[in-house]
Chains A and B, each alone.
Chain A
Amino acid sequence: MAKVPVQFTLNGSEKAEFIDSGTTLLHALRDKIGDTSPKGGCHQGTCGACSVIIDGELRLSCLTLAETCNGAAITTTSGLSEGGVLHPLQHAFLDTFATQCGFCTPGMIMAAKVLLNHTPNPSRDDVVEALSGNVCRCTGYEPIIQAVLRAARANSQNAA
C-alpha cells in the first residue's frame, strides 16, 4: 500500500511522517512518533484511554485516521508539563492519589483539560459528565473527580 505523508504539530513541535493509509492517529503517535502517552485500551472508541486534544477538541485517537490530521495542532498528556514542571492537572492527580494502575490516567487528564479550558469552575456534575466517556477499570473514579475539582480550584486561585 502506498504511503501517504502526514504533517501536524504535536505538543508544539512539527511532525512529518509517511504512514500507511488507514493508520489510526493512536498507532501513528505511539508506534511511528514514539509518544506512548495515549493508551490503546479497547481500540473501538469505548474506553477513552486514547483521548487526545485535536485543535482544542477532545478526540479518540483510536478512531481518528492520522491522515485526517494534516495541519492540526495535537496535544497529548506528555506535552502538558513545561520545562519539567508538571501541569496543575497532573499535580492534582498526584496530590489526590488519582492514579491507581495508571492506564486510564492520560485519557482522564485529556478529558479534564478540555473541560477546564471551556469551564474553568466546573461543578461536580460537570466533571462527571466530562469524564463519562472514560473508563477506569480500577473503578477509582472518586479520586479522579476530586483531582479535577482540585485543579480547577488551583487554577482559579492562580487567576485571582
Chain B
Amino acid sequence: MAIRRGRGVAAINYPTGMNLGGDPTQALVHSTPTGNFMVTLSSVDLGQGMKQIMAQICAETIGVPTDRVVVDTADTDTGPHCMGTFASRGTHRAGNAVIQAAKEARQVMLEVAAEELEVNASDLETDGQGNILVKGAPQKSISIFDVALSAHFKRGRSISGRGMFLIPRSYPEKETGAMKPSTCYAHACTVAEVEVDDETGEVTVLTVKNVFEIGRALNPKMVEQQLVGGSWMGISHALYETTEPYYPNRDHGGTDFNQYLMPGPGDLAETEIIVLERPSADGPYGAKGPGEMCANPQIPALANAVFDAVGVRIDTLPITPERILRALRAQAAN
C-alpha cells in the first residue's frame, strides 16, 4: 500500500452557443437626453460579468467611455428577444447584437452632430472621451452631451439603434449526417498531477496547469477570474460533486448543502492559467465563449492522472475514493 503519483493530460474543443432551432439574440441601444447610452437586453447577468462586457462593447462601438453606458438586462416580458444566458453564448451572441445596435445609434449621433457642425457625417470621428471631431480639424468639435440635447430638444431625432444576431439552424446533410453545430469554438488543454492513496482511494490534486484559447479576452482580468475559478470547478466536478452518488439509484444522495461536497479555500491545488488569444472571425471584437469550457478539460485530465497513478479507469463521475477502491479490487481479482 502506497501513495502513488500520476499525471494526466486532456484537450477539449467547446462550441460557443447552441444550434437547435436557430440561436438569436436582440439588443436595443438608445441615448438619454444627456448623451449617456442605454443598452437593453433580455440576456441575464448571472454573475459572469455580462453587464460590464456589454457596456464595453457598446462604448467601443459608439466611441464613448464605458462609464457612459448603462446596461439593462430587464426581463423577457419587456426586453428584446434573447435565447438566454447559457452555453457560453452571452458575450458572443449578445455582443454581436449590441455592436449592430450601437453602430446604428452611432450613425444617427454622427448625423445630428453633422447638422450642428455643418459638415458631412462621414467627415466626423469620435475621440472615445465623449466628443465628436471633424477629421483633420479637431478644433471643430461638439460634445456628445450637446449632440444628445440637440437631437432630443431641437432636431427631434432618436439616437438609437436595433441589433439582431442570429446563428441560423444548421440541418444535417442527408448523405453524410455532417452538420455545423457551432460557428465558433474555444479550446483548452489541462495537465493535472495527482497523488492517489491506493489503500484509501483518496485523490490529492497537486497541480493543475491549463491553457485556454478563448478568442480575444475583452476584459482580461474578468477572463482570468472565470478561468481560475472554472479550473477549480472542473476539479470539483471530477472528484467531489454529485447529487446522486449511486445514480441511477437515488439512494444516499445529499438532501441539503450540508451533504453536497464542494471545495473550500483549503482545497486549492497549485493552479496555472495561460490564455491564448486567437480572435474569432464572427465574434464581437474577436471574442469567443470562455464560460463553461474552462471547467471541462480538468475532468478527463484527472481521470487520466488517476489511471497513470494506479492503473484503473474510472468512467463515472465523480471519481470518489470508493470507486477507485472498487476498481482496484476488481483489477486485483482479475
**A and B: bona fide binding partners:** yes
**Nearest A-chain residue to B268, judged by Cβ:** A141
Report whether over half of chain B's contact residues are helix, strand or loop; otherwise say mixed.
Answer: helix
A138 adjacent to B221 (CB under 8 Å): no
Cα separation A139 to B267 with both chains bound (whole Å): 10
- A97 in complex: contacting residue of B48, B222, B263, CB < 8 Å: B222
Is the CB of B136 closer than 8 A to any CB of chain A?
no
Chain A residues with Cβ below 8 Å from B314 are none
Cα separation A47 to B49 with both chains bound (whole Å): 23
Cα separation A46 to B256 with both chains bound (whole Å): 10
Q: Mark B225-240, 1 if CB is under 8 A from A, else 0.
A: 1101110110010000
B47 adjacent to A144 (CB under 8 Å): no
B265 adjacent to A101 (CB under 8 Å): no
CB distance from A108 to the nearest CB of B (A): 9
Chain B residues with Cβ below 8 Å from A132 are 264-266
Give the number of A-B contacts (CB < 8 Å). Answer: 69
A141 adjacent to B258 (CB under 8 Å): no
Is the CB of B108 closer than 8 A to any CB of chain A?
no
CB distance from A149 to the nearest CB of B (A): 12
Chain A residues with Cβ below 8 Å from B268 are 128, 141-142, 145
Q: Mark A132-160, 1 if CB is under 8 A from B, else 0.
A: 10111111111111000000000000000
Q: How many residues of B contact A (CB 8 A)?
A: 25
Is the CB of B153 closer than 8 A to any CB of chain A?
no
B256 adjacent to A139 (CB under 8 Å): no
Chain B residues with Cβ below 8 Å from A41 are 257
CB distance from B98 to the nearest CB of A (A): 21
B228 adjacent to A143 (CB under 8 Å): yes
Is the CB of B87 closer than 8 A to any CB of chain A?
no
Chain B residues with Cβ below 8 Å from A139 are 229-230, 232-233, 236, 263
Chain B residues with Cβ below 8 Å from A141 are 232, 263-265, 268
**Nearest A-chain residue to B231, judged by Cβ:** A139
CB distance from B241 to the nearest CB of A (A): 11
Given contacts A44-B256, A44-B257, A46-B257, contact A140 B266 (CB under 8 A): no
CB distance from A98 to the nearest CB of B (A): 8
Chain A residues with Cβ below 8 Å from B221 are 97
Q: Mark B58-74, 1 if CB is under 8 A from A, else 0.
A: 00000000000000000
Interface residues of A (CB under 8 A from B): 41-42, 44, 46-47, 97, 100-103, 127-129, 131-132, 134-145
Q: Given contacts A131-B264, A141-B263, could you give 5 more A-B pairs where the C-beta distance is less than 8 Å?
A: A128-B268, A132-B265, A134-B265, A135-B264, A139-B263
Q: Can you report 27 residue pairs joining A to B where beta carbons are below 8 Å apart?
A: A44-B258, A46-B257, A97-B221, A97-B224, A101-B47, A101-B48, A127-B265, A128-B266, A129-B266, A132-B264, A134-B264, A135-B257, A136-B265, A137-B262, A138-B47, A138-B225, A139-B229, A139-B236, A140-B228, A140-B229, A141-B232, A141-B264, A141-B265, A141-B268, A142-B228, A142-B271, A143-B228
